[in-house]
Chains A and B, each alone.
Chain A
């Protein structure tokens, strides 16, 4: 669709078209996700009924893919804020058409991640004991515990991203409202909160949006640092490491970007958004992935170097076990998929070819999931006292709940794709030169 002429009017038209009543495919996908969510729910019910024992967890591996999923989804959640907030502050123009999807990924990934701290509890029905309120006998929660930092970090992150997401949506919702009929009109009229795009509204809106971005930027860095400290502040070899914060943040963005690409490509195809989400956008994301991939690779290298350099039996034991032990296969998946494969993006041909992009970004997501799995499980499986060494094998419950979490994310995303504009109408328009009398030269946004 090269040379397709973008005007305010057809921006409206094209993007609103994505919200037309869904086709068969959508319903099938939704049905599948709901089915898996149900399966996960059943597995959780079993856990509540009989106890944590239905998981594959054991002594000494008391955390495994429950926490793996938590960290994984938190990581996914990072791309959104990165693209929307940080790129916004840097005034990166190619951000406009993709940030909505990215933010959606953030919000839904957080919905998913937030489940696991509750699911993984031995007594999940008491999850609210983790919240900061005065409890029996005036006891509060232990603010020294990294798990409490998690609670605060995740809740903050969730709240800020939702505010950010919704604020960005309002003007677009007004657009939808103005084009919609019947119940949809009433719905979007409510969601748009009476937005009219008056000069006053726009003035405060732009200011507020800027500050939200400014707040979200340090937050995005802090959240995954905090998550990494769940491990870093422990004394377990393989967890107790100062490099974790930057290492995890980079990894998070790594997986986040990959996830965004993996989602944008089909969206772009299905909704024929090529003029908006162009090859350039994907390519730029790919370039970012090269950067994060390099950081991640460097972190791996440093971890092993330090283990060797420390001359510490326990450290060395832990890292040797990673690459040659029972879970070595996972470690190699992690190293190759996260640190080696992304380097292919140095080749322009590869980072500009859709199949390659899709394939590699999927591999990265697999790799990043395994990174968390390996860090958590191998370190626990071979901790200090050799007598207690043990293995973790997942049961159907572990797997169902994991599958359920992916389905849960998919479900939200499918709903999003049909009920909200997946590309920001307003910001795309902003990138266009406004229609002037002396015009007729407007082209596609670069």
Chain B
């Protein structure tokens, strides 16, 4: 994988750069920024994150698990306490609720890890510490022959630094 990274001090310039690259047909872009911004997603036209699905699925799973746990254990070893029925739903629902939340939260975390590809061990050469500080980074994948033109677009767009990255 080869490409060019442009560092931007300024957010507006950076957004313009993204748009320009897309106009000039470069769709394979990657962005690194100190803060999230939906303009970036809009500019890159990303679709909605699928994490929500994870949350829902696991929450439902939690509910079912909760019901199974409480009812099944009570029935399989019936003991009368306080003259209450073996399957007493009101108290069981408390457990069910907690299970729903817990499993749902675990699912959400899972969804995040899976989709965001974290945790990862290696940090790519394209990354630069200033991206976590005050600079916006734009990485354009391209073929060796395109490097020149890409770099020039970066300069026009006002990148304070343009790096050529390989591997």
Direct A–B touching in the complex (beta carbon < 8 Å)? yes
| A positions within 8 Å CB-CB of B | 7-9, 12, 132, 134, 137-145, 148-149, 152-153, 155-156, 159-160, 163-164, 167, 170-171, 174-175, 177-179, 193-208, 211-212, 214-216, 218-219, 222, 226, 229, 426, 429-430, 434-439
- A202-B33, A426-B35 known; A167 vs B94 contact (CB < 8 Å): no
- B36 closest partner in A (C-beta): A202
Mind listing 20 A-B residue pairs with CB under 8 Å?
A8-B134, A12-B133, A134-B73, A138-B77, A140-B73, A143-B70, A143-B92, A144-B82, A149-B98, A153-B94, A153-B98, A156-B105, A160-B101, A198-B31, A200-B46, A202-B36, A215-B105, A222-B101, A226-B98, A429-B35
- Report the separation of the CA atoms of residues A219 and B98 in the bound assembly, to the nearest whole angstrom: 8
* CB–CB B37/A197 < 8 A: no
In the assembled complex, how far is the CB of residue A225 from the closest CB belonging to chain B, in whole angstroms? 9
A142 surroundings in chain B (CB, below 8 A): 79, 81
* CB–CB B32/A198 < 8 A: yes
* CB–CB B77/A139 < 8 A: yes
B79 surroundings in chain A (CB, below 8 A): 142
B64 surroundings in chain A (CB, below 8 A): none
| B positions within 8 Å CB-CB of A | 9-13, 30-37, 40-41, 44, 46, 48-49, 51-52, 55, 59, 69-70, 73-74, 76-77, 79, 81-82, 84, 88, 91-92, 94-95, 97-99, 101-102, 104-106, 108-109, 111-112, 115-124, 127, 129-134, 158
In the assembled complex, how far is the CB of residue B56 from the closest CB belonging to chain A, in whole angstroms? 9
- Report the separation of the CA atoms of residues A137 and B115 in the bound assembly, to the nearest whole angstrom: 43
In the assembled complex, how far is the CB of residue A198 from the closest CB belonging to chain B, in whole angstroms? 5
* CB–CB A143/B111 < 8 A: no
Contacting residue for A430 out of B35, B81, B116, CB 8 A: B35
B46 surroundings in chain A (CB, below 8 A): 199-200, 203
* CB–CB B49/A207 < 8 A: yes
In the assembled complex, how far is the CB of residue A368 from the closest CB belonging to chain B, in whole angstroms? 24
- Report the separation of the CA atoms of residues A196 and B109 in the bound assembly, to the nearest whole angstrom: 18
- Report the separation of the CA atoms of residues A435 and B160 in the bound assembly, to the nearest whole angstrom: 14
* CB–CB B112/A194 < 8 A: no
- B134 closest partner in A (C-beta): A8
- A431 closest partner in B (C-beta): B35
In the assembled complex, how far is the CB of residue A180 from the closest CB belonging to chain B, in whole angstroms? 10
In the assembled complex, how far is the CB of residue B152 from the closest CB belonging to chain A, in whole angstroms? 19
* CB–CB A204/B120 < 8 A: no
Number of A-B contacts (CB under 8 A): 197
- Report the separation of the CA atoms of residues A439 and B109 in the bound assembly, to the nearest whole angstrom: 37
* CB–CB A175/B55 < 8 A: no
* CB–CB A434/B98 < 8 A: no
* CB–CB B91/A144 < 8 A: yes
B11 surroundings in chain A (CB, below 8 A): 434-436
* CB–CB B44/A9 < 8 A: no
In the assembled complex, how far is the CB of residue A207 from the closest CB belonging to chain B, in whole angstroms? 4
* CB–CB B132/A178 < 8 A: yes
- A436 closest partner in B (C-beta): B12
* CB–CB A208/B51 < 8 A: yes
Contacting residue for A201 out of B44, B55, B118, CB 8 A: B118
- Report the separation of the CA atoms of residues A218 and B52 in the bound assembly, to the nearest whole angstrom: 17
Beyond known contacts A159-B105, A179-B133, A198-B31: 17 more, CB 8 A cutoff: A8-B133, A140-B76, A145-B91, A156-B101, A156-B102, A160-B101, A178-B129, A179-B129, A193-B120, A207-B48, A207-B112, A208-B108, A212-B108, A214-B55, A216-B105, A219-B98, A437-B13
- Report the separation of the CA atoms of residues A132 and B13 in the bound assembly, to the nearest whole angstrom: 57
B81 surroundings in chain A (CB, below 8 A): 142, 144
Contacting residue for A148 out of B95, B99, B111, CB 8 A: B95
3 closest A-B pairs (Cβ-Cβ)? A178-B129, A194-B120, A434-B11
* CB–CB A194/B121 < 8 A: yes
* CB–CB B44/A208 < 8 A: no
* CB–CB A208/B10 < 8 A: no
Contacting residue for B34 out of A132, A139, A206, A426, CB 8 A: A426
* CB–CB B9/A435 < 8 A: yes
A208 surroundings in chain B (CB, below 8 A): 49, 51, 108-109, 111-112
* CB–CB B111/A144 < 8 A: no
- Report the separation of the CA atoms of residues A179 and B79 in the bound assembly, to the nearest whole angstrom: 60
- Report the separation of the CA atoms of residues A194 and B116 in the bound assembly, to the nearest whole angstrom: 11
- A153-B98, A179-B129, A197-B34 known; A163 vs B134 contact (CB < 8 Å): no
Contacting residue for B123 out of A153, A196, A205, A435, CB 8 A: A196
